[in-house]
Structure 1
């Protein structure tokens, strides 16, 4: 039976440290969240982030994007936030309306306010494994923090990342590569038989594709580590991309859903926001 990687407990430690850091700052810490209120998932996530931010002393400003917004409309919103000295950090909650090019919006955010690390500057520094300070996307950084807490060192391991999004898969693969893992990055065009082969090789599996039961216990290498980034609702209940009941019989370590990566993502985002405040001060 797997040992549970308790993201909720580790996130609580991070949140306590963030709260202490906020109290030591002379100026208020404010996070602007740009989002599509018509997207039910975004509306839910923004509410969760705002409530947790309030608990650690971070103010939030939620900025809904009109349904008919285009890239230029949202760029103007972001540019105004870049110039607003009362705003510490800016979060672009994906997905935005269909007519908006998110990659352009991510890179419109000033690098010093890019607290989710999705702009071209911060991601470029990540892929270069730069010694300069930069911000890393909250979900993959949260995964790395969770692994470190449980003393799971990726160095020398074969790591399989399933999903190549800008928000998760690509930065996750870069972080694991920087940590000296041998990284396989798979995606929707990876043939099923090849993916099955990769799963049997992987010492560490990180999956975020938005499909319940995408990975089964029988697919996994015995003794591996499983990080489930997925969040799906099935029969009114939250579930990940991994079949927990079967995978937990094979893996040595596994994250639950809920209570695994989700709390780590929010805690890391708030941690990044305070770091931005400290550097800007």
Structure 2
């Protein structure tokens, strides 16, 4: 029988712990959010994050970029936020305006304010499995929290990550590797036959490709743990990258869409923000 990994329930627990930590800090916790206001998805996500932040006691400052935004102008804004002692953490909401080099912008965020762990410095610490504290991209870290909450053993397991973005796939690969899984990273240039072969061998599958129902139950190894990071809309209905109905009964555990990884992403971002506040008071 397939067990549902309830991200909404785990996020609620995480948020309660975050609120308690915020209440113990001597100074306000403030998250600055840099985003492109012309992007409908970004406006929606920023609004959702602001509302959830308020429930745990974190103040947000929305920093919309203007219509003529360039890499240089966004980095200039980031540098001002880095220097502002009232700003605890900085989130750069992707995608930014066309032509803005996001990797350069991510890396302009000071490591001690990098709430989403996307800068080169903190990602280097992740890939080096550094001993000191550092932030990790919220979506893959949220996946790890979900796996840990359900006591899903990772060490020694065969894991397949499908998608290699800086926001999800690459840090997901590193986190699973650091947790002693044997990890394969697949992407758009992975031959289909190769991908299907890896799927049939994978104990854990984490997918985020933005293609509705990309995976079917018949693609999976019996008893696989399936983490669906995708969020797509088909006829106005939210669906993931996995055909949930056909995967049930094949997977041992699976995340729903919505209500799986999404709530964990926001909860982890807020958790990261309060960690920055605790470390750099």
TM-score range, shorter chain: over 0.9
Q: CA deviation at 1:28?
A: 0.5
What residue number does 2:11 align with?
Answer: 11
What is the aligned partner in structure 2 of residue 199 from structure 1? 199
Q: Shift of the alpha carbon at 1:249?
A: 2.0
Partners of 2:251 and 2:67 lie apart in 1 by: 43
Per-residue CA deviation, residues 191-217 of structure 1 (Å, 9 max, x unaligned), is 111111110010000000000011110
Displacement of 1:133: 1.2
> SS of 1:38's equivalent?
coil
| Alpha-carbon offset, residue 40 of structure 1 | 1.0
1:251-279 per-residue CA deviation (whole Å, 9 max, x = no partner) reads 00000000000000000000000000011
User: Partners in 2 of 1:137 and 1:271 — Cα distance?
Assistant: 11
Residue of structure 1 equivalent to 2:241: 241
What secondary structure sits across from 1:14 in the alignment?
Answer: helix
- Which residue matches 2:138? 138
1:119 to partner: Cα distance: 0.3
Displacement, 1:237?
1.1
1:183 aligned residue: 183
Distance 1:277 1:135 in 2: 12
Task: After TM superposition, list the pairs within 5 Å mapping 1:150-169 onto structure 2.
Answer: 150-169=150-169
1:89 aligned residue: 89
Which range is displaced more, 59-68 or 121-130? 59-68
Distance in structure 2 (CA, Å) of the matches to 1:186 and 1:65:
33
1:66: how far off?
1.5
Alignment of 1:208-219 (within 5 A): 208-219=208-219
Which runs of 5 or more structure 2 residues have no equivalent in the other structure?
Answer: none
**How many Å separate the matches in 2 of 1:32 and 1:188?**
33
Match of 1:272 in 2: 272
Cα drift, residue 67 of structure 1: 2.5
**Distance in 2 between residues matched to 1:240 and 1:65, nearest whole Å:** 30
* 2:54 aligned residue: 54
**Which secondary structure state, in structure 1, belongs to the residue aligned with residue 160 of structure 2?**
strand
Q: How does 1:249-260 map to 2 (within 5 A)?
A: 249-260=249-260
The whole-number CA distance in structure 2 between the counterparts of 1:233 and 1:67 is 27
Which residue matches 1:38?
38
**Equivalent position of 2:117 in the other structure:** 117
Between the aligned partners of 1:173 and 1:17, the Cα distance in structure 2 is 27
- CA apart distance, 1:5: 0.3
Q: Does the residue aligned with 2:100 lie in a helix, a strand or coil?
A: coil
Report SS of the residue matched to 1:193.
Answer: helix
Per the normalisation by structure 1, the TM-score is 0.99
Deviations 1:151-170 (A, max 9, x none): 00211110000000000000
Name stretches of at least 5 consecutive residues in structure 1 with no aligned partner: none
SS of corresponding position for 1:221: coil
RMSD between aligned residues: 0.6
Q: Distance in 2 between matches of 1:160 and 1:68?
A: 40
- Distance in 2 separating the partners of 1:120 and 1:14: 27
Per the alignment, residue 231 of structure 1 pairs with 231
Match for residue 170 of structure 2?
Answer: 170
> TM-score under structure 2 normalisation?
0.99
- Paired residues, what number? 281
What is the DSSP-based 3-state SS (H/G/I as helix, E as strand, rest coil) of the residue aligned with 1:152?
coil
User: Aligned to 1:37, what secondary structure does the other structure show?
Assistant: coil
